[in-house]
Amino acid sequence: MSDRNLQSFPDKAALSRGACQRLVTLAKECIDQNGVFQISLSGGSTPQQLYQLLAETDLPWDRIRWFWGDDRCVPHDHADSNYRMVREALLDRIDADPATVFPVPVDTEDPAAAAAQYEETLRQAFAGQDYPQWDLALQGMGDDAHTASLFPETKAIDEQQRWFVENWVPKFDTHRFTLTANAINSARNIWFLISGDNKRDALQSVWNGPQQPAKYPSQLVRPDHPGLLWWVTEDALP
């Protein structure tokens, strides 16, 4: 991946500031051009700081549509919920109109039905598109090289038709909800936000190892355009 588009930063705070500035610029450009900015959000500690900074900016919030790239199979008020994290870090602070917010309709008893319902929400929002053309899809990466909730050796890695699925993750003995690889790669801009020395080995494998996406799912994110950008702290660089 010698041609990767990399932005490196001394720490997570600097990364978050840089990503926030770029996101604000991108959002304004998309709104000026198309009247709307549609974003797929990531969970985790790295984007949380970005969301907190974003809440302090001045954007036309009614023109932004908030979706989730993945979530845990827990109620929305649960401490592990990606929706709750984003709501507390950002959405509550900007008094987001509920009509602009599209959380995964978590159903712990029937995850498949919840995933199908959210896929239908996405297909209505991006009607007429083969896959959802996000203005921006934010991605994280775990120390096992997973992204969204595409975990190593799980069924969703091989999905080619669906946009959004429930994914059984044996290591956690639970379902996760996730966009599929095709539904991530369709974004006009894809940003990986990666921080911490615990990510270094995984990033080394994703960037420089053999192409084994079943083992390193972040390798699935390979759009056919130059919109893939890596935001990485120096301690996470291989």
Between helix 12-34 and helix 45-54 the angle, nearest 10°, is 60
Which pLDDT does position 3 carry in this prediction? Answer: 62
Rounded to an integer, what distance in angstroms lies between the CA atom of residue 141 and that of residue 216? 10
- pTM comes to 0.97
Enter the DSSP assignment of 25.
Answer: H
Decide if 11 contacts 18 (C-beta within 8 A): no
**Cα dist. 185→50, 131, 235 in Å?**
22, 9, 27
Structure tokens at 85: 């994290």
Structure tokens at 116: 């199908």
Return all residues near 86 (Cβ < 8 A) that are at least 6 apart.
Answer: 41, 43, 51, 66, 68
CATH number at residue 32: 3.40.50.1360
Rounded to an integer, what distance in angstroms lies between the CA atom of residue 118 and that of residue 111? 11
What string of pLDDT tens digits covers the 238 residues of the chain?
A: 446 899 999 999 999 999 999 999 999 999 999 999 999 999 988 899 999 999 999 999 999 999 999 999 999 999 999 999 999 999 999 999 999 999 999 999 999 999 999 999 999 999 999 999 999 999 999 999 999 999 999 999 999 999 999 999 999 999 999 999 999 999 999 999 999 999 999 999 999 999 999 999 999 999 999 999 999 999 999 9
Rounded to an integer, what distance in angstroms lies between the CA atom of residue 127 and that of residue 47? 28
Rounded to an integer, what distance in angstroms lies between the CA atom of residue 24 and that of residue 198? 29
DSSP readout, 75-144? -TTSTT-HHHHHIIIIITTTT--GGGEE-----SS-HHHHHHHHHHHHHHHTTT-SS---SEEEE---TT
- Domain range enclosing 26: 5-236
> How many domains is the chain built from?
1
